[in-house]
C-alpha cells in the first residue's frame, strides 16, 4: 500500500517550529534545535516535488519514520522538552516525549485524549484553554503555567503555545517544579528575613543614591510616622520632611555610598514630622544594588531621644541629690552587715571619725563603747533581714567635747548592705529633758488648779442646792398664804387687790418651777454616768406616748426611726430627749396638725441624731443664745418655760463627749442635732 504524505503541509509547519526554537533561552538548546530543523527541512525537500509539478513520488508508509518523529523528535531529544500538537478543543493530535520521561497518560492513550483528562485544578485548566485559543486566534506566542497533582504530589509545568495550523497549535511543555520550589524557598527566606528585621528594635533601611527607600523595616517606618508599604520607593522629601534637613542628610548619604567608607553618627539630630527634635545613633554602610554595581547605602539607626532624656533627668537628679546632701544636717554611712564602712557623706563635718580613715574600717575599730556597736550591728541585721527601717539611739560618753547622743535610722540598701542616717540629738535630748521638767511642773499646777476648781464647783453646787431648798419653804408660804387670801378674803378686797394677790401667786409658782429646774440642772452635773447600750428609739416612743396622754386633743404625728442604739447613760439621755421632744411639742402647739421627727444620718466621721418639728421655729440671728441658761427666744405670753431645758440638753451631750446645735426658720420649724463622743 502506498500513500502520498502531505509534505507541503509539513514544510508549512517548519516556520512556527523555527520561531519556537529561536524563543529558547538556553544557547545549547537553541543550537541543537536549529540543527534538528535543518535535518527535517532537507528530508522534506527530498520528497517534496517542485510547486509546478503535479506528479508526486509515492512512498510506502513503512519507508518513512513516524509522523511525530519527522516533525520534532530530534528537537526534543536535544532540548528535553515535552511537545504536543492540540486542536482548539484541547484534543491531542500528536506528541513527543523526551527519552526516559513519564507522562500522566499512557503513551498509547495520548492521541485523541483531551487535556481535561489531566489532574489539573479548574482555574489552571481555564488558563490553559484561554492561552490555547489566544495562540490560535492571534498567532502570538502564549505562555501559561499550571500544576498537576497525583496522590498528594504536585508537579508544576510551563507551556509555550504557538499556532501551527488553522485550528491547531503546538505546545512545548517544561517541568518547572524545581524552579517553583526554589521560588517558594526564596519567598520563605525573604519572609523570614522580613520577620527578623521587623523584630529588630532598630530602624533598618536601604536607600539608593536618589534617596529612595528600597527596604524598610517596621521600626524605621515608625520613626518616619509612616508604614513600610507607604515608604517603599519614596524619599524623606516625599514623606513630608523639611527640605533643608533632607538635603543635608541626602548629601551625606551619597558621599558615603560613592566613597565606600562606612560612617557612624553617635548623636544625629533630626526633627520628626511633628517638629520634635529626635536624637539617633546611626550606622551607614555603603553597598551595591545589582551586577552593574549601582551604589546604595544600608542604614541601621536607633532612636535614643528617651535615653538622652532619662540620662539628663538622672544627671539633674544626681545634681539635686548632691545639693540636698550638702544641705542636710545629718551624716550618712553605707556599711556591710558586719559593720565595715563602704562609703559616707558628712557635709557638716560632724563625724567623730577622721574622714581619711573611715572607708574600709569597722565600727569595732572605734571607741564608741561596746554597747553602742553591739546595738548598731543588731539593727543592721534586722534591717537587712526584714527590709524595715530600724531606728536606734545611743550615747557616746567619750566624745572630745563631752558626752554626745545620736539617733541612727537604718535602711537596707543591698543584699548585705545598709545605709545609716545619723543625727546628733544631744541638743534635742537637752530640750526634751527641759520639756519633761516643764510638763511635770505644769501637771502639778494643773492638779492644784483642778483640785481648787473641783472644790469650788462642789461648794457652788452645794450652795445652789442649799439655796434652792432653803428658798422653797418661804415660797411655799408666800404661795399658800396668797392663795388663802384669794380663797377666803377675796370678797373683802377690791379688784385691784385681788389682781395683786393673783400676780403674787403666779410669781411664786414660777419661782418654784425655776428652783425645780435649777435642782434638775445641778443633778445632771452631779450624776455619775454609766454608759451602756441603749435604744434611743424606745425612749422616744415612751416620751411621745406621755405627751399624747397629757394632751389627747392635739393632732401630732410622731415619726421615729427604729433601732437607734448608742452607748450612753440611760437616765441622762431620757432627760435630754425629754427636753427636746417637749420643746417640739410646745412650739408646735399653735398648729392644728403638727409633725415631730426623731432619727439619724451618717456624716463623714460621725453619726448625727436629730429632733425636727414644723412649729414656730426661731430667728437664726439669735441662735448663739439658744443653749444659755434662762435664755428665751420667744415671749412668755406665747410659750411658757424658763429657758433651762436646752441648757440641760447641752450639758448632758457635752458630758457624753458630743456636741449639739440647731437650725431653724421662723414659722418653718426647727431641727436640733447632737452627736456622741
DSSP output for 643-658 = S-HHHHHHHHHHHTT-
What is the C-alpha separation between 467 and 448, in angstroms, rounded? Answer: 28
Mean pLDDT of 353-378: 80
Q: What is the largest CA-CA distance in the chain?
A: 191
Residue 53 three-state SS: coil
Predicted local distance difference test score (pLDDT) of residue 501: 77
DSSP state of 362: B
pLDDT in tens, 125-153: 999 999 999 999 998 999 999 999 988 88
- Domain 200-309 annotated CATH 3.10.100.10: no
Helix (H) or strand (E) holding 237: none
Q: Which of 338, 343, 337, 374 is nearest to 360 (CA)?
A: 343
Contact yes or no for 652/572 (Cβ under 8 A): yes
Of 70-74, 256-260, 459-463, 507-511, give the lowest mean pLDDT range: 70-74
pLDDT in tens, 199-218: 778 888 999 999 999 989 88
Strands 203-208, 213-216: parallel, antiparallel or unpaired by DSSP?
antiparallel
C-alpha separations of 353 from 131, 279, 359 in Å: 100, 48, 10
pLDDT in tens, 17-52: 565 566 555 565 566 566 556 655 654 554 444 444
- Between 573 and 519, residue with greater pLDDT: 573
Q: Hey, how many other C-beta atoms are within 10 angstroms of the C-beta on 610?
A: 17
Q: Which CATH number fits domain 2-180: 3.40.640.10, 2.40.50.140, 3.30.450.20, 3.40.50.720?
A: 3.30.450.20
Q: Check whether 676 has a pLDDT greater than 60.
A: yes
Question: What is the pTM for the complete model shown?
Answer: 0.38
Please list the alpha-helical segments (H only) found in 48-173. Answer: 67-68, 74-79, 122-138
Q: Could you tell me which CATH number the domain at 328-420 has? A: 3.30.450.20
What is the percent of the chain where pLDDT is above 70?
Answer: 79
C-alpha separations of 250 from 32, 210, 211, 300 in Å: 53, 8, 6, 15
What is the C-alpha separation between 301 and 266, in angstroms, rounded? Answer: 10
Please tell me the number of Cα atoms within 13 Å of 359 on its side-chain side.
7
User: How far is Cα of residue 286 from the mean position of the Cα atoms in its chain?
Assistant: 44
- Cα dihedral: 105, 107, 113, 118 (round 10): 20
Cell representation of residue 320:
539635686
Q: In what order do the strands lie in the sheet with 153-165?
A: 92-96, 82-87, 168-175, 153-165, 142-150
What is the C-alpha separation between 346 and 332, in angstroms, rounded? Answer: 7
- Class of domain 528-674 (CATH, top level): alpha beta
Q: Check whether 472 has a pLDDT greater than 70.
A: no
Whose cell is 545613633? That residue is: 281
Three-state secondary structure string covering 358-389? CCCCEHHHCCCCHHHHHHHHHHHHHHHHHCCC
DSSP state of 366: S
Query: Which residues, 6+ apart, have CB-to-CB distance to 278 below 8 Å?
Result: 223, 269, 270, 271, 272, 303, 305
Q: Which of 631, 612, 632 is nearest to 673 (CA)?
A: 612
DSSP state of 512: H
What is the C-alpha separation between 207 and 250, in angstroms, rounded? Answer: 10
Residue 142 three-state SS: strand
What is the C-alpha separation between 350 and 409, in angstroms, rounded? Answer: 16
pLDDT in tens, 389-433: 999 888 887 776 778 888 889 999 888 999 998 888 888 888 888
Helix (H) or strand (E) holding 251: helix 243-259
Q: Check whether 579 has a pLDDT greater than 70.
A: yes
Predicted local distance difference test score (pLDDT) of residue 62: 35
Predicted local distance difference test score (pLDDT) of residue 560: 94
What is the C-alpha separation between 83 and 646, in angstroms, rounded? Answer: 123
Classify residue 115 as exposed, middle or buried by CB count within 10 Å of its CB (0-12, 13-18, 19+): buried
Cell representation of residue 259:
566613597
Please, what sign has the CA dihedral across residues 358, 363, 369, 373?
positive
Whose cell is 545609716? That residue is: 420
Predicted local distance difference test score (pLDDT) of residue 634: 57
What is the C-alpha separation between 575 and 597, in angstroms, rounded? Answer: 17
Contact yes or no for 37/18 (Cβ under 8 A): yes
What is the percent of the chain where pLDDT is above 90?
Answer: 27
Amino acid at each position: 500500500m502506498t500513500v502520498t504524505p502531505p509534505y507541503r503541509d509539513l514544510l508549512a509547519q517548519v516556520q512556527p517550529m523555527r520561531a519556537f526554537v529561536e524563543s529558547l533561552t538556553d544557547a545549547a538548546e537553541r543550537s541543537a534545535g536549529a540543527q534538528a530543523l535543518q535535518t527535517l527541512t532537507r528530508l522534506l525537500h527530498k520528497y517534496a516535488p517542485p510547486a509546478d509539478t503535479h506528479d508526486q513520488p509515492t512512498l510506502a508508509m513503512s519507508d518513512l519514520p513516524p509522523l511525530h518523529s519527522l516533525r520534532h523528535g530530534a528537537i526534543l531529544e536535544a532540548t528535553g522538552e515535552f511537545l504536543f500538537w492540540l486542536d482548539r478543543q484541547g484534543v491531542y493530535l500528536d506528541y513527543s516525549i523526551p527519552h526516559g520521561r513519564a507522562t500522566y497518560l499512557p503513551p498509547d492513550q495520548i492521541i485523541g485524549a483531551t487535556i481535561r483528562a489531566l489532574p489539573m485544578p479548574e482555574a489552571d485548566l481555564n488558563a490553559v484553554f484561554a492561552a490555547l485559543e489566544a495562540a490560535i486566534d492571534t498567532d502570538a506566542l502564549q505562555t501559561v503555567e499550571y500544576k498537576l497533582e497525583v496522590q498528594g504530589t504536585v508537579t508544576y509545568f510551563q507551556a509555550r503555545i504557538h499556532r501551527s495550523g488553522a485550528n491547531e497549535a503546538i505546545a512545548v511543555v517544561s517541568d518547572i517544579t524545581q524552579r517553583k520550589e526554589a521560588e517558594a524557598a526564596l519567598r520563605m527566606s525573604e519572609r523570614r528575613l522580613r520577620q527578623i528585621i521587623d523584630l529588630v528594635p532598630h530602624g533598618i533601611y536601604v536607600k539608593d543614591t536618589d534617596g529612595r527607600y528600597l527596604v524598610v523595616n517596621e521600626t524605621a517606618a515608625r520613626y518616619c510616622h509612616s508604614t513600610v508599604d507607604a515608604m517603599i520607593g519614596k524619599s524623606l522629601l516625599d514623606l513630608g520632611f523639611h527640605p533643608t534637613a533632607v538635603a543635608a542628610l541626602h548629601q551625606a548619604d551619597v558621599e558615603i555610598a560613592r566613597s565606600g567608607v562606612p560612617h557612624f553618627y553617635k548623636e544625629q539630630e533630626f526633627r520628626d514630622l511633628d517638629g520634635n527634635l529626635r536624637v539617633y545613633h546611626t550606622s551607614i554602610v555603603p553597598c551595591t544594588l545589582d551586577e552593574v554595581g549601582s551604589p546604595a547605602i544600608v542604614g541601621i539607626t536607633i532612636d535614643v531621644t528617651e535615653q538622652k532624656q532619662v540620662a539628663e533627668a538622672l544627671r539633674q537628679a544626681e545634681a539635686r541629690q548632691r545639693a540636698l546632701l550638702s544641705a542636710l544636717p545629718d551624716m550618712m554611712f553605707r556599711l556591710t552587715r558586719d559593720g565595715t564602712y563602704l562609703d559616707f557623706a558628712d557635709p557638716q563635718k560632724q563625724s567623730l571619725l577622721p574622714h581619711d580613715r573611715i572607708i574600709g574600717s569597722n565600727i569595732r575599730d572605734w571607741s564608741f563603747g561596746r554597747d553602742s556597736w553591739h546595738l548598731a550591728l543588731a539593727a543592721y541585721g534586722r534591717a537587712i533581714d526584714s527590709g524595715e527601717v530600724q531606728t536606734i539611739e545611743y550615747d557616746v560618753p567619750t566624745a572630745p567635747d563631752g558626752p554626745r547622743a545620736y539617733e541612727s535610722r537604718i535602711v537596707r540598701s543591698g543584699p548585705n548592705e545598709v545605709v545609716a542616717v545619723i543625727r546628733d540629738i544631744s541638743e534635742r535630748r537637752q530640750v526634751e529633758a527641759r520639756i519633761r521638767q516643764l510638763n511635770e511642773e505644769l501637771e502639778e499646777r494643773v492638779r492644784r488648779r483642778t483640785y481648787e476648781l473641783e472644790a469650788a464647783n462642789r461648794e457652788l453646787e452645794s450652795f445652789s442646792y442649799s439655796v434652792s431648798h432653803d428658798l422653797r419653804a418661804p415660797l411655799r408660804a408666800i404661795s399658800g398664804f396668797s392663795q388663802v387670801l384669794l380663797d377666803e378674803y377675796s370678797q373683802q378686797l377690791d379688784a385691784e387687790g385681788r389682781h395683786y394677790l393673783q400676780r403674787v401667786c403666779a410669781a411664786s409658782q414660777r419661782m418654784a418651777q425655776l428652783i425645780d429646774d435649777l435642782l434638775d440642772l445641778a443633778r445632771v452635773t452631779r450624776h455619775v454616768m454609766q454608759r451602756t447600750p441603749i435604744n434611743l428609739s424606745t425612749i422616744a416612743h415612751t416620751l411621745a406616748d406621755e405627751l399624747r396622754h397629757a394632751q389627747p386633743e392635739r393632732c401630732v404625728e410622731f415619726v421615729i426611726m427604729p433601732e437607734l442604739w448608742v452607748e450612753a447613760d440611760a437616765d441622762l439621755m431620757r432627760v435630754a430627749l425629754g427636753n427636746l421632744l417637749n420643746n417640739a411639742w410646745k412650739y408646735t402647739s399653735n398648729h392644728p396638725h403638727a409633725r415631730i421627727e426623731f432619727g439619724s444620718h451618717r456624716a463623714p466621721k460621725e453619726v448625727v441624731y436629730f429632733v425636727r418639728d414644723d412649729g414656730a421655729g426661731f430667728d437664726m440671728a439669735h441662735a448663739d443664745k439658744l443653749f444659755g441658761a434662762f435664755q428665751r427666744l420667744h415671749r412668755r405670753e406665747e410659750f411658757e418655760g424658763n429657758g433651762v431645758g436646752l441648757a440641760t440638753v447641752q450639758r448632758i451631750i457635752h458630758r457624753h463627749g458630743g456636741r449639739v446645735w440647731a437650725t431653724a426658720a421662723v414659722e418653718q420649724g426647727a431641727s436640733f442635732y447632737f452627736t456622741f463622743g
